[in-house]
Amino acid sequence: MTSETARLRFREVVLPHLDDGYRLAKWLSGAEADAEDIVQDAAMRALAALEGATPLKPRAWWLAVVRNAALTYMARRRPKALRYVADLDEDVAEDAPDPEAALIARDEGERVRRAIASLPSPLRETLVLREIEEFDYRAIAEATEAPIGTVMSRLARARAALAKLLGKAP
Amino acid sequence: MSDQAPSRAHAALDGELDVSQRLAFEEELRRSPELAAEYERLRALRRTIREHAPREAAPERLRARIEALAGAPPRRAAPRWPALAAGLAAAAALAGYWAGRSGGDPELAALVAGYQRAALSGQPIDVASSDRHTVKPWLAARAPLGALVLDLAEDGFPLVGGRIDIVDARPVPTLVYRRREHLISVTELPLAGAGGGAATLEGYHVVRWRDRERAYVAISDLDASELQAFVADFDKRTPR
């Protein structure tokens, strides 16, 4: 049974950032229906976790919960969509949507969306947390459980790949 | 692969350089056209990404499900500017209330003291930058509640920098904007019981308001109407 304290914390910690959580889930999963299920899972986890304590950085904490829920969800529902094995594989996204699709998309918004979607998960989540959720390096490191050096290198590679896909490379 | 050292241009773009590194980087930018070109490419890429990543609201049915989970009372829309204006119109009563209990609100008293100390010391800011992407991570690293840093230069209120104030023994982020020779401090606080209103404390004008996510306190030696114009611009540019 969920305590009133946990519900109260949930209303303060999660509800103000619900839209951000949904957006992140959508970027990580690439599908609206999946994003709703992921946010629902994340909300259940968050409610349970809030029985114990209240986080220092509510938004960063909640988005990290969403990110973890997305990983679990993707591994269970769409195992092929997830390549999270080792850094070795990071630059190869055999399973992600075809990067070429980004080149022929009708408008710039669609091109950008597809180009980001075609990045391998570790690069994509790092880029999305930085550019869209505006996390700093340390917050990304905490959310993705990666060393800061890895965050920086993933970010650099994600940007290089994106620039190339969007024809903005030198 | 992971240990490949990304260039400082990325760290600069991301506001992750400290003041001396930043100065060194800017010097290098002036000297190296290649570096300047790379930095410009990175900035252009960021603009492209952010332009095409609209803030999207969760679908209503999802929000309803999650709110039910939280046992939340029926949601009221976030107070928008008209509501705020109404709040300010009622300010006279509040002003009397606050002035009559000078120091009665320890949170406001602490913030006004912070403003006064900052103004008197000639050191109103701990981090000096007009770039919100520099100020934001600096504040986020020092205060648990990261700050929403808005660019109001177009409205005539350029960002000067930020500082940390202490309220109730907790560090809170304060942004400092400028209008002519006047400074405006905006402190962002976690949502608590307090509502909105305007007041005069220790000779400074104070406006308090809130949105769905946080409470704000603006303090300035500007006159009351200009401070209210600032608050209106800030509120208008707050992402919903």
Given an 8 Å threshold on Cβ–Cβ distance, is A166 in contact with B7? no
Given an 8 Å threshold on Cβ–Cβ distance, is B62 in contact with A36? yes
Q: Is A162 helix (H, G, I), strand (E, B) or coil?
A: helix
Whether chain A has a CB inside 8 Å of the CB on B193: the answer is: no
Alpha carbons B171 and B111: distance in angstroms, whole number: 11
Per the CB < 8 A criterion, the answer to whether B208 and B227 are in contact is: no
The C-alpha of B123 sits at a distance from chain A's nearest C-alpha, in angstroms, of: 26
* Model confidence at B99: pLDDT above 70: no
Using one digit for the tens of pLDDT, what is the confidence trace for B58-82? 899 999 999 988 885 544 444 444 4
Alpha carbons B220 and B222: distance in angstroms, whole number: 5
Given an 8 Å threshold on Cβ–Cβ distance, is A22 in contact with B49? no
Whether chain A has a CB inside 8 Å of the CB on B59: the answer is: yes
Quick one: pLDDT band at residue A168, thresholds 50, 70, 90?
Answer: low
Given an 8 Å threshold on Cβ–Cβ distance, is B2 in contact with A87? yes
pLDDT of res. B4: 32
pLDDT of res. B115: 83
Per the CB < 8 A criterion, the answer to whether A137 and B16 are in contact is: yes
The C-alpha of B56 sits at a distance from chain A's nearest C-alpha, in angstroms, of: 6
Quick one: pLDDT band at residue A97, thresholds 50, 70, 90?
Answer: low
Q: What is the mean pLDDT of chain B?
A: 77
Q: How many CB atoms neighbour CB B214 within 10 A?
A: 18
Distances from the Cα of A100 to the Cα of A59, A61, A114, A115, B62, angstroms: 35, 35, 9, 8, 33
pLDDT of res. B193: 58
**Average of per-residue pLDDT across B219-224:** 86
Q: How far is CA B130 from the centre of its chain?
A: 12
pLDDT of res. B82: 44
Asked which of A84-93, A146-155, B38-47, B185-194 is least confident by mean pLDDT, the reply is A84-93
**Average of per-residue pLDDT across A91-105:** 50
Bridge partners (DSSP) listed for residue B174: B163, B187
Alpha carbons B172 and B19: distance in angstroms, whole number: 21
Complex prediction ipTM: 0.79
Secondary structure letter of residue B77 according to DSSP: P
Alpha carbons B87 and B93: distance in angstroms, whole number: 11
Given an 8 Å threshold on Cβ–Cβ distance, is A138 in contact with B141? yes
Alpha carbons A1 and A104: distance in angstroms, whole number: 52
Per the CB < 8 A criterion, the answer to whether B194 and B208 are in contact is: yes
Name the burial class of residue A107, with classes exposed (0-12), middle (13-18) and buried (19+) by CB atoms within 10 angstroms of its CB.
Answer: exposed
Q: Phi then psi for B199, rounded to 5 degrees?
A: -160, 170
Of A164, A10, A2, A145, which Cα lies nearest the Cα of A64?
A: A145
Per the CB < 8 A criterion, the answer to whether A47 and A15 are in contact is: no
**Average of per-residue pLDDT across A10-36:** 88
Asked which of A33-47, A66-80, B218-232 is least confident by mean pLDDT, the reply is A66-80
- Bigger pLDDT: A100 vs A147: A147
Q: Phi then psi for B72, rounded to 5 degrees?
A: -75, 145
* Model confidence at B183: pLDDT above 90: no
Out of A92-96, B96-100, B188-192, give the one with best mean pLDDT: B188-192
**Average of per-residue pLDDT across B164-179:** 85
With beta carbons under 8 A apart, name residues in chain A contacting B140: 136, 139
**Average of per-residue pLDDT across A151-167:** 92
Name the burial class of residue B16, with classes exposed (0-12), middle (13-18) and buried (19+) by CB atoms within 10 angstroms of its CB.
Answer: buried
pLDDT of res. B169: 78
Whether chain A has a CB inside 8 Å of the CB on B65: the answer is: yes
pTM more than 0.80: no
Q: Phi then psi for B150, rounded to 5 degrees?
A: -105, 145
